[in-house]
Amino acid sequence: MDCLKRLQRTTRGGQRSFPPHHVEVEAIQHKTTQIYHKIYFPDETDEAFVVKSSTRARDLVQTISNRLKMKSHEGFSLFIKMGDKVISIPEGDFFFDFVRQITDWLRKGRLITEGPNSKFTYQVFFMRKLWSSTVPGKDRQADIIFHFHQELPKLLRGYHQCSKEEAAMLASLIYRVKHAESKADITTVLKSLLPSDLIKTMSSYEWKKEIVRAYNKDSGMSPDEAKVAFLKVIYRWPTYGSAFFEVGQVSDPNLPPNLLVAINKQGLNLIHPDTKDMLATLPLSHIMHWVSNSSSFCLTVGDSSSFSKLALETPLAYKMDDLLTSYIALVLASQDTKKLPVIRESKKI
């Protein structure tokens, strides 16, 4: 009867493309079909979820968002972390098919070490991938568990253009979330509060004075309220919700040799790495074609009458490729338009 049910499920949901993953085989050997898989979240918590052989990524995304009482799972994705690679699972793929495929691909490319335990060297993360409709305060659970913790590292790395006043205000909110309970001395935790490019613009004492002033203005605010308030400040910036990439380029003499690229719902933004000035924005509708390999990402921008090419050097080309593909697919799905004739090539390692 169990085999018959599985056959009927396969008839309804489609067949797998790869042999069972080692985790599935082990479960069967232990006479169980219920596999509890640990899923990690950006706020450093994790939970175990049942993953079946027939579970697709979209099913697990829905299950997780329901359990966390989120208002919507749109824009969220599962990610496999293996070594230093973090790869998004396409929503239509069977969960274990993708894990098997990625393991085989990375092993062939010698990007993960061979060994008796290499089959276990992956973690699964659940995070927001596309920031197309995220308004702080709209989905409190998502803000508290995901959005704050995903946006914080980008601020601390100095990727946003941020004034000293904004930095002090944001630092007071971060302190409220991270250190208010322990009452840590602000001067000893400045690196966890301020953008790296702004720390040295004032002395530790001056920063502490500004941060305390901002902190006292919001007395009584809870850590969760501080997370939402933090997001409401960053939401005003054009780089909110961006995925940032530090890249090199030699194709355009008018651009600096090193760039900060921010991919978001507006398109591909080219930013000066030192001043954080926006040098150019390449809208999704103007990106005609792109190709990626293990070390570069090249794209053609324009229309049929005139176009230009931009070649970017980065080991994270696979991530840029995936993000651009996902954002354009989202635009095509939400708009009845034929203005985006995108041709894409992806060269695997």
**Whether residue 120 has pLDDT greater than 70:** no
pLDDT in tens, 307-331: 889 999 999 999 999 999 999 988 8
Q: Of 30, 34, 28, 31, which Cα lies nearest the Cα of 48? A: 34
pLDDT bucket at 102, cuts 50 / 70 / 90: confident
Q: Express as a percent the part of the chain with pLDDT over 90.
A: 68
How do the domains of the chain map onto residue ranges? 2-128, 140-234, 243-346
Is 139:70 a contact under the CB 8 Å cutoff?
yes
pLDDT in tens, 30-57: 888 789 999 999 999 999 999 988 999 9
* The CATH number of domain 140-234 is 1.10.3300.10: no
**Whether residue 170 has pLDDT greater than 50:** yes
pLDDT of 218: 83
Q: In sequence order, what E strands does 149-256 have? A: 243-249
Q: Express as a percent the part of the chain with pLDDT over 70.
A: 92
pLDDT of 34: 81
Weakest mean pLDDT among 251-255, 293-297, 312-316, 334-338:
334-338
Q: Of 44, 35, 41, which Cα lies nearest the Cα of 64? A: 41
**Whether residue 344 has pLDDT greater than 70:** no
**Whether residue 2 has pLDDT greater than 60:** yes
**Phi, then psi, of 79 in degrees rounded to 5:** -130, 135
DSSP line for 292-333:
E-SSEEEEEEE-SS-EEEEEEE-TTHHHHHHHHHHHHHHHHH
| The CATH classification of domain 2-128, taken from the options 3.40.640.10, 3.40.50.10860, 3.40.47.10, 3.10.20.90 | 3.10.20.90
pLDDT bucket at 113, cuts 50 / 70 / 90: low
pLDDT in tens, 253-282: 999 999 999 999 999 999 999 999 999 999
Number of H helices, E strands in the chain: 10, 13
Weakest mean pLDDT among 20-29, 154-163, 195-204:
20-29
Q: Of 102, 143, 324, which Cα lies nearest the Cα of 234? A: 143
**Whether residue 341 has pLDDT greater than 60:** no
pLDDT in tens, 179-204: 988 888 999 999 999 999 999 999 99
Burial class (CB in 10 A: 0-12, 13-18, 19+), 298: middle
pTM: 0.88
Joined together, the tokens standing for residue 94 give 């069977």
What's the Rg (C-alpha) of the chain? 22
pLDDT of 340: 47
pLDDT of 275: 93
**Whether residue 342 has pLDDT greater than 50:** no
- Fold entry, domain 243-346: PH-domain like (2.30.29)
